[in-house]
Amino acid sequence: MTRRTMVINFLKMMKPLEDLQLSKPDKACCGALPKSFTSAETVEPAARLEQAFVKGSVDTPAGPVPRISHVLDLADRLGTIKARWGIRRMHYRVDPGLYALGEPDHKSPVLVTANYKMTFDSLRSSVENLDAWILALDTNGINVWCAAGKGTFGTAELVGRVESSRLREVVSHKTLVVPQLGAPGVAAHLVLAQSKFRVVFGPVRAGDLRAFLGNGYKATPKMRAKTFTFGERAVLVPVELMAALKWTVLISIAAFPLSGLGWPGEIWPNMVSHGTLAVVALFGGLLAGAVVTPLLLPWLPGRAFSVKGFEAGLLVAGLILAVFLPTWASWPAWLELSGWMAISLTLASFLALNFTGSSTYTSLSGVRKEIRRAAPVQIAFAILGLATVVASRFLA
């Protein structure tokens, strides 16, 4: 093949990419553009008016837009409670698209959010008496911050949603207010280049939006700071607890009868005595890792979450020992008690390490580094604890 032929073939290969010039930079950081943007023939349907929380519609040049209220009704609040406890949490979402909050007009601000309904409800209930347009991106029912990290709350989806909602026909300005926590997924300069809309990153908390808008779209340092208070950690506890509870229950169901085997005497009294210890130890580890660690996170010594979980496990283990130790006088019983404490501490450390995904100050690289260090120790502790529990039967 001659050099001239190679050049011609190369140019032919590059020809199809001419239609993708707009999407190339965005594809690298946020994934492929949605069909609503890459194909003029494919327009995603607007948000449905039949959704339970919709209170009518607003007529716009782009067609009817669902109207929503600032006030959450009983169904909204019950849905939030269920999501907090992990009940159908991944299916708690609204239709992506444009919504009218109150009585917005062509000059009203456009607030961008995720289609996770808890996030959607938090936004609309935090801006009481504000007339605005809410543009819900399709994040697969995930909150803004997590979706930004995954790429679903990103440049491509934002540009595509502006296009499919025909937003430029609804408002006369070209400004989108994007949550600050969505910044990792949104490249403002690409949004401007592809949609002609300017991105302004709003405050961390939706409750500061009114002050932010009233201040000329300028945030104070306090609006930019992300807190992680006791209350903010406490609301995360139920979903963390429920995620681990089912496995703890299943293991406990198996451990209760097995713990009574191998000891002298009748099986049922042994199951009640030794099985109770097993269940208490397992649930103690669950409590320490999924509840105590999140609540006491700033006050537990050390930086590693696995270490903090181990320390919380020691607190709970101390209470368990105070209950069981006085009644367990034999050496085999003490050995079994030690084994279950090791298993309980391992469970607490593991669940605490899992809480890194909910915290505000961990990084992916840091978590991976901690897992590499903590996992071998946790596995060793679990094996040692299980071996000690089994060995205690042979010494009885």
* Amino acid letter for position 312: A
| Class of 21-226 in CATH | alpha beta
Measure the CA–CA gap between 291 and 297, rounded to whole angstroms.
Answer: 10
* Phi, psi torsion values for 95, nearest 5 degrees: -65, 135
* Predicted TM-score (pTM) of this structure: 0.81
Beta strands 110-114; 97-101: pairing state: unpaired
Cβ contacts of 129 within 8 Å, gap of 6 or more: 70, 102
pLDDT on residue 56: 95
pLDDT on residue 328: 65
Q: Is there a contact between 196 and 168 (Cβ–Cβ < 8 Å)?
A: yes
pLDDT on residue 44: 64
Which residue's entry shows tokens 């939030």? Answer: 80
Q: State CA 389 to chain mean position distance.
A: 37
Measure the CA–CA gap between 116 and 142, rounded to whole angstroms.
Answer: 5
Beta strands 198-201; 132-137: pairing state: unpaired
pLDDT on residue 396: 63
Measure the CA–CA gap between 35 and 394, rounded to whole angstroms.
Answer: 66
pLDDT on residue 42: 42
* Phi, psi torsion values for 93, nearest 5 degrees: -145, 165
Cβ contacts of 14 within 8 Å, gap of 6 or more: none
pLDDT on residue 388: 94
Q: Is there a contact between 162 and 139 (Cβ–Cβ < 8 Å)?
A: no
Beta strands 97-101; 132-137: pairing state: antiparallel
Q: Domain segments of the chain: what residues?
A: 21-226, 231-395
Is 300 in a helix, a strand, or coil?
A: coil
Distances (CA, A) of 93 to 46, 186, 243: 15, 21, 20
Q: Which helix (H) or strand (E) is 133 found in, with range?
A: strand 132-137
Give, for all 396 residues of the chain, the pLDDT tens digit: 444 443 334 333 333 322 222 222 333 333 333 333 333 334 466 899 999 999 999 999 999 999 999 999 999 999 999 999 999 888 999 999 999 999 999 999 999 999 999 999 999 999 988 999 999 999 999 999 999 988 899 999 999 999 999 999 999 999 999 999 999 999 999 999 999 999 999 999 999 999 999 999 999 999 999 899 999 999 999 999 998 999 999 999 999 998 888 788 788 888 888 889 999 999 999 999 999 999 999 999 999 999 999 999 999 999 988 888 777 667 888 889 999 999 999 999 999 999 998 888 788 788 899 999 999 999 999 999 999 999 988 876
Which strand ranges, in their side-by-side order, compose the sheet holding 97-101? 57-60, 63-68, 97-101, 132-137, 110-114, 175-178, 198-201
* Phi, psi torsion values for 116, nearest 5 degrees: -75, 120
Mapping DSSP onto H, E and C, the string for 279-298 reads HHHHHHHHHHHHHHHHHCCC
Q: Which of 128, 198, 129 is nearest to 162 (CA)?
A: 198
Q: Is there a contact between 160 and 36 (Cβ–Cβ < 8 Å)?
A: yes
